Amino acid sequence: MFQRLAQIEARYDELTQALASPDIMNDSARFQKTAKAHSEISDIVEKYHEYKDLTRGIAESRAMLADETDADMRAYAEEELAKLEPRVVTVEEELKVLLLPKDPNDEKNVILEIRAGTGGDESTLFVAEVFRMYNRYAETQGWKVEVLSTSESGVGGMKEVIALIEGNRVFSRMKYESGVHRVQRVPATEQQGRVHTSAITVAVLPEAEEVDVKIEAKDLRIDTFCSSGPGGQSVNTTYSAVRITHIPTNTVVSCQDEKSQIKNREKGMRVLRSRLYEVEMQKQQDALAKERKQMVGSGDRSEKIRTYNFPQNRLTDHRIGFTIHQLEQVMDGKLQPLIDALITHFQAEKMKQETTSVG
């Protein structure tokens, strides 16, 4: 590990010098590429410097204890060791996490797709509430949410909503949200006060750029139709809504939120690219070693990942055994404790796999 860290540090120093070179400073493309490479390893180098400072401090304190006869100086050295030794253990663990292979999608924006499942009208109401929850969370992160497509239900819920979330490292925070989300509560329409169980599906796809997925025009069939609202009532009489079919994979995307056919087509293509990208990524993941396949939460949406129990004010994430009795706050977008717990868990799983593969 430390040999690798020394190599990264040497590379960082090279890049730092390169950024000050007039040749690179005068070439904007090379400068941006160099600055990006410099930025990508800066966190690791900064942590490595902290580790080296700590180990140096520990060595000095131990030397002082071995050589010093003055009681005050020995007490000072013991106090320093008591502070530095626990910290160096923590920093070493943090370095191991930083050295884990990066998910190439972590920096990407996401396409969020939420759909009603079992539970009828109650399920559509929960889709709307979960979408609001993610909206509120996005606000706390400074992200921008743009609705790409919606299908409303007659009771004021949503059968489906597709949105683009843009911001800093959105996928790295949202990627563990994919799966079946189950809700247990008394629906507003329930006369007897019985608790019902409904379910919705959440899909978080990394937004694919044009360079990530090549789509041939000959592989597309594009149909236009009139937009419609709840209950099928006509919203407008122009053919502004767009349905795009990717013929080789039979992937179908519809978009009707905009009044402009061109804008609906643009939004539809963003969703289509991301779905095709996810299919390609899944193929690559399926081809990896069995250990990788065993990792919980690989995005299999047939699996119930979470339960929202309203009568008991409880949220449980079944993949990591995480329970919180503050459901109201979670539904208001306070997702950080849950997301931090998920990231910590899956980083630990990844570290185990790395250790196993090395061994």
Q: Domain map of the chain by residue range?
A: 2-98, 110-350
For 274-320, write each residue's pLDDT tens digit: 888 888 777 766 654 443 333 333 333 446 899 999 999 999 999 99
Does the pLDDT of residue 237 top 60, yes or no? no
| Vertex 316 angle, CA 206 and 166, to 5° | 25
For 205-217, write each residue's pLDDT tens digit: 888 776 567 788 8
Specify the pLDDT at position 165. 94
103, 175 Cβ separation under 8 angstroms = yes
Neighbours of 157 (CB within 10 A): 21
**Measuring CA to CA, which residue among 134, 175, 174 is closest to residue 334?**
134
Range with the largest mean pLDDT of 28-42, 117-131, 345-359: 117-131
Specify the pLDDT at position 136. 96
Does the pLDDT of residue 358 top 60, yes or no? no
Specify the pLDDT at position 52. 92
Could you say which architecture CATH assigns to the domain 110-350? 2-Layer Sandwich (3.30)
Mean pLDDT within 166-171: 90
Greater model confidence, 192 or 166: 166
177: helix, strand or coil: helix
Greater model confidence, 40 or 251: 251
DSSP string, 4-20: HHHHHHHHHHHHHHHHT
